[in-house]
């Protein structure tokens, strides 16, 4: 397995995206497409760049499924839940095969880590699912206090339940979506680009946008020409 760099997308010292392993590159994409003619390029050339751009522009997507990424992701539960909606996000175009998550039926959450936003944002008035700018100064501190006391109350209830002998699988239900989980996500280049196109797009929540940016930064060196073609198509895939 390759040892590859990681990024802390939420910049809190806890979140993480790490590329664990990969298979293929931009040449694999064009050579998979050329299988129709039983032809292949040995080295990257201008002809390959033209074909790759054509495939990306016209959404000839299947050759993008032969490049595979295996990621380790550590994210708050609410981000993992948004991620999990990408059901066709694995190599074999099947439901959720490319996803293995930490289980709080097995692991105790006594040492749980929680995500705390560095800035609390106001509810947007024009978009019911979005945030607007930061809350004003004094309210910022009040929000921080309310958020932190909610987390501590949930954690204390969890620990009390374990002390009473309640099972981990039941006690975990009181834990909040700000709690960190971790999972290994195996996806094709097609699924990755589709994920980024939606999760960097207008309306996506800031936290998952930060994860999409990290995937883009760590994935690009594997197939730089394919990521360039993606950018040239306005990050639509």
Ligand X SMILES: Cc1cc2nc3c(=O)[nH]c(=O)nc-3n(C[C@H](O)[C@H](O)[C@H](O)COP(=O)(O)OP(=O)(O)OC[C@H]3O[C@@H](n4cnc5c(N)ncnc54)[C@H](O)[C@@H]3O)c2cc1C
Active site positions, annotated = 199
Residue 23 Cβ vs ligand X, minimum distance, rounded to whole Å = 19
When asked if residue 203 is in the footprint of ligand X (CB under 6 A), the reply is: yes
> Which member of 194, 207, 227, 237 binds ligand X (CB under 6 A)?
194
> Which member of 20, 88, 107, 161 binds ligand X (CB under 6 A)?
88
What does the chain look like in DSSP terms, one character per residue? Answer: -----EE-TTSSSS-EEEEEEEE--HHHHHHHHHGGGT---SS--HHHHHHHHHHHHTT--GGGGSSEEEEEEEEEHHHHHHHHT-TT-STTSSSSTTEEE--TTTS--TT--B---SS-EEEPSS-TT-EEEEPPHHHHHHHHHHHHHHHHHHHHHHHHHHHTT--HHHHGGGS-TTBEEEEEEEEEHHHHHHHHHHHSSTT--HHHHHHHHHHHHHHGGGSHHHHHHHHHTTT--
When asked if residue 121 is in the footprint of ligand X (CB under 6 A), the reply is: no
Two tokens at 83?
């991620």
When asked if residue 70 is in the footprint of ligand X (CB under 6 A), the reply is: no
- Residue closer to ligand X by CB (options 93, 166) is 93
Site string for ligand X, 144-183 (x = CB under 6 A): ----------------------------------------
> Which member of 41, 87, 124, 149 binds ligand X (CB under 6 A)?
87
For tokens 């289980």, name the residue: 103
- Residue closer to ligand X by CB (options 6, 82) is 82
Pairing of strands 68-76, 99-101: unpaired
For residue 66, which of 185, 182, 222, 197 has the smallest C-alpha distance? 222
Residue 198 Cβ vs ligand X, minimum distance, rounded to whole Å = 4
When asked if residue 204 is in the footprint of ligand X (CB under 6 A), the reply is: yes
When asked if residue 193 is in the footprint of ligand X (CB under 6 A), the reply is: no
- Residue closer to ligand X by CB (options 178, 191) is 191
- Residue closer to ligand X by CB (options 166, 204) is 204
The region of 38-46, 58-66, 81-89, 215-223 touching ligand X under the rule CB under 6 A is: 81-89
- Residue closer to ligand X by CB (options 2, 85) is 85
When asked if residue 86 is in the footprint of ligand X (CB under 6 A), the reply is: yes
Binding positions for ligand X, rule: CB under 6 A: 85-89, 191, 194, 198-199, 203-204
């Amino acid at each position: 397995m390759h040892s590859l760099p990681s990024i802390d997308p939420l910049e809190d010292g806890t979140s993480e995206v790490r590329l664990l392993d990969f298979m293929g590159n931009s040449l694999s994409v064009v050579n998979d497409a050329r299988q129709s003619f039983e032809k292949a390029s040995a080295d990257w050339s201008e002809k390959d760049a033209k074909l790759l751009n054509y495939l990306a522009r016209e959404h000839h997507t299947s050759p993008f499924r032969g490049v595979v990424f295996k990621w380790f992701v550590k994210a708050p539960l609410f981000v993992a839940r948004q991620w999990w909606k990408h059901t066709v996000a694995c190599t074999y175009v099947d439901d959720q095969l490319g996803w293995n998550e930490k289980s709080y039926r097995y692991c105790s959450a006594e040492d749980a880590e929680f995500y705390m936003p560095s800035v609390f944002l106001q509810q947007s008035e024009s978009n019911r699912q979005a945030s607007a700018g930061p809350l004003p100064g004094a309210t910022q501190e009040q929000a921080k206090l309310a958020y932190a006391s909610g987390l501590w109350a949930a954690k204390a209830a969890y620990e009390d339940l374990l002390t009473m002998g309640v099972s981990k699988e039941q006690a975990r239900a009181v834990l909040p979506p700000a709690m960190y989980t971790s999972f290994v996500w195996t996806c094709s280049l097609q699924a990755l680009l589709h994920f980024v196109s939606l999760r960097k797009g207008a309306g996506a929540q800031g936290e998952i946008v930060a994860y999409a940016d990290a995937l883009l930064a760590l994935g690009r060196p594997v197939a730089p020409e394919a990521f360039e073609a993606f950018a040239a198509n306005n990050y639509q895939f």
